[in-house]
Structure 1
Amino acid sequence: MAQSHGSCLCKQVTYTFTGEPVQQALCHCLPCRKVSGSTHTTNLLIPLPAFTITSGQQHLKSYSLPHPSGMTLTLHWCENCGTKIYKEGDAEAFKGIAIVQAGTLDEGEGGLEIGEVKVGVELYVKDRVGWLGEREGTAQCQTFV
């Protein structure tokens, strides 16, 4: 089974996951836009048992906030460089899932690399910025479903 690797910008926090993501998605919700400082996040939904922080656990900070969907969203980032590593949501659809930020994948380490991410769905398209068009070939969801 393939093992994928990722890290924060300063490399103090590293992680691995085995297998394929359950889903690969863009999310346009306001919290994701704020987290990324851009128009969306690119997310790999990984079952928690397959996801491991391999170094720097002590450098991870977290923050929980109410999401517009009604769930609580918890963000995890490196305290040193600020890289957002993953999110967790307490909604039924996200229980037991690490929502890994695809941009944190390491290149050349084996496993899934950023160029191989195959986004299958866009979430919260109701909040997509007007100048950013629909990604061809992806399912379009007004919210999470």
Structure 2
Amino acid sequence: MSSSPLHGSCFCKKIQLELSGEPHAIALCHCTDCRKISGSVYTLNFIVSTTDLKLSGSSPAENPKTSDSGKKYVNYFCKDCGSPLYGGAVDESGQLQTAVVRAGCFDDLEVLKGKKPSVEIYTAQRMEWILPVEGAAQFEGMLPAR
């Protein structure tokens, strides 16, 4: 990622986010949860350290659930317009471990040029008419633990 932070917001602009630092991965996710959250057949996500994500404006609403991987996962979205912003697995104390930022919330989509996904997850659920991203690591489920 460039030295300048990426900026994003929800649809109604009541929540803004700033993303600094390098993502651990840029991932296409084909899981059921991402399809339901986005209303599309996959999502493009920046997987980042929680310390690299700053929020301002309104506080996001939370939607906790057990994810396809069996972990407790919380999705954060705007309570006014419903835009999904980010999510992530949480530990026993409810602390977000890593932020999965939805790339569609970035204000300037030019920042996505050259940000080809490095990984695809839940490929077992990928629509058969969607081709794998050339050069991206492929996982039938979640990324292996680091």
Q: CA deviation at 1:124?
A: 0.5
Aligned residue among 31, 34, 37 for 1:32:
34
Q: Corresponding residue for 1:75?
A: 75
Alignment of 1:17-96 (within 5 A): 17-57=19-59, 60-90=60-90, 96=97
1:101 aligns with 2:99: no
**Which stretch of the first structure deviates more once superposed, 99-108 or 42-51?**
99-108
Q: TM-score, normalised by structure 1?
A: 0.87
Q: 2:113 aligns to what SS in structure 1?
A: helix
Q: CA RMSD in A?
A: 1.7
Q: Give 5+ residue unaligned stretches, structure 2.
A: none
Q: CA deviation at 1:7?
A: 0.4
CA contact (8 A) 1:20 1:46 kept: yes
Q: CA deviation at 1:67?
A: 1.2
How far does the alpha carbon of each residue in 1:40-76 deviate from its partner, in whole angstroms, 9 at most, with x for none? 111101101111102222xx11111111211011110
Q: 1:113 aligns to what SS in structure 2?
A: helix
Q: CA deviation at 1:118?
A: 2.2
Q: Give 5+ residue unaligned stretches, structure 1.
A: none
Runs of at least 4 residues off by over 4 Å: none
How many residues align structurally? Answer: 137
1:119 & 1:128 partners in 2: Cα distance?
15
Q: Corresponding residue for 1:123?
A: 121
Q: TM-score, normalised by structure 2?
A: 0.87
1:5 & 1:116 partners in 2: Cα distance?
17
Q: CA deviation at 1:117?
A: 2.4
Q: CA deviation at 1:115?
A: 2.6
Q: CA deviation at 1:2?
A: 2.2
CA contact (8 A) 1:78 1:85 kept: yes
CA contact (8 A) 1:13 1:78 kept: yes
